[in-house]
Amino acid sequence: MRAEPLVGGLCFGEGPRWHRNRLWLSDMHAHRVLTVTEGGQVENVVEVPNQPSGLGFPPDGTVLVVSMTDRSLMRFDGRALSRVADLSGLASWYCNDMVVDRTGRAYIGNFGFDLHARAQPKPAELIAVEPNGAARIVARELQFPNGTVITPDGKTLIVGESFGRRLTAFDVDASGDLSNRRVWAEMPRGEVPDGICYDTALGVWVASPLSNECLRVEQGGRVTHRIPLERGAFACMLGGSDRRNLYILTATSSEPEVCRKERSGRVEVARAPYPAAGLP
């Protein structure tokens, strides 16, 4: 399998989601959310002053956006941004990726520490935000919780722990609380899981920035496919008309100033063996 460039010139792409026949993503260090068609046409959606990251689509038709540096969850109604929840009292550091369930409940991770200042790594929290804005911590002691998926039955949440080099699963109850924490898969060669997505054959695609690849992992850790890349892979999403286009967000660096200067970010695309399943 190989990936081909679809869009270039981004600062740093994150949080890809397939919605309304478009790939939605955050160009984080350009402070904007945008969409990309299957043919590569780009359209700006909204500017997010404090850096957008995770995206999600609740049943009310709006767009939820993680605002990183002020640690907030925002809503875009097509006209303006408004704050859903202030997470600064719950999140240890900048907020990052997010998955939104079918009720509109959002699960949001955070760095846990000042990554770009080379601070000592610290564990972080996973935060649940209800549609009414009520927020609570649902998991603690995660090693840089990053990409997150929910299985099609809504009963299992899988999160990539980047600094733990593993995928961790939880049971999800009717209230959205998490329990029965367990290792879903260790990264077989110590790859660092960043963004992830789920397919109909129960595999997880993992963007691995340090090994410059996107790999498909099954529960237990068996790798079935690897897509080598020329640069770091930071997120991935299955989409397209048949949901078998694997969109991979790549860049040569994740350092904010380098990203803004070089604009090396790309959307690359490969054909996957199985279509998307679950959420996002």
pLDDT tens per residue, range 177-188: 999 999 999 998
Residue 5 has pLDDT above 90, yes or no: yes
SS3 string, the chain, reads CCCEEEEEEECCEEEEEEECCEEEEEEHHHCEEEEECCCCCEEEEEECCCCEEEEECCCCCCEEEEECCCCEEEEECCCCEEEEEECCCCCCCCEEEEEECCCCCEEEEECCCCHHHCCCCCCEEEEEECCCCCEEEEEEEECCEEEEEECCCCCEEEEEECCCCEEEEEEECCCCCEEEEEEEEECCCCCCCCCEEEECCCCEEEEECCCCEEEEECCCCCEEEEEECCCEEEEEEEECCCCCEEEEEEECCCCHHHHHHHCCEEEEEEECCCCECCEC
Rounded mean pLDDT, 132-136: 98
Mean pLDDT of the residues in the chain: 97
Residue 276 lies in a domain: no
Residue 213 lies in a domain: yes
Rounded mean pLDDT, 190-198: 94
Q: What integer pLDDT is reported at residue 127 of this predicted model?
A: 98
Q: What integer pLDDT is reported at residue 72 of this predicted model?
A: 98
Rounded mean pLDDT, 83-98: 97
Rounded mean pLDDT, 190-210: 96
CATH of the domain at 165: 2.120.10.30
Residue 174 lies in a domain: yes
Residue 109 belongs to what domain range?
4-271
Residue 252 lies in a domain: yes
Instruction: Give me the number of domains the chain comprises.
Output: 1
pTM of the model: 0.97
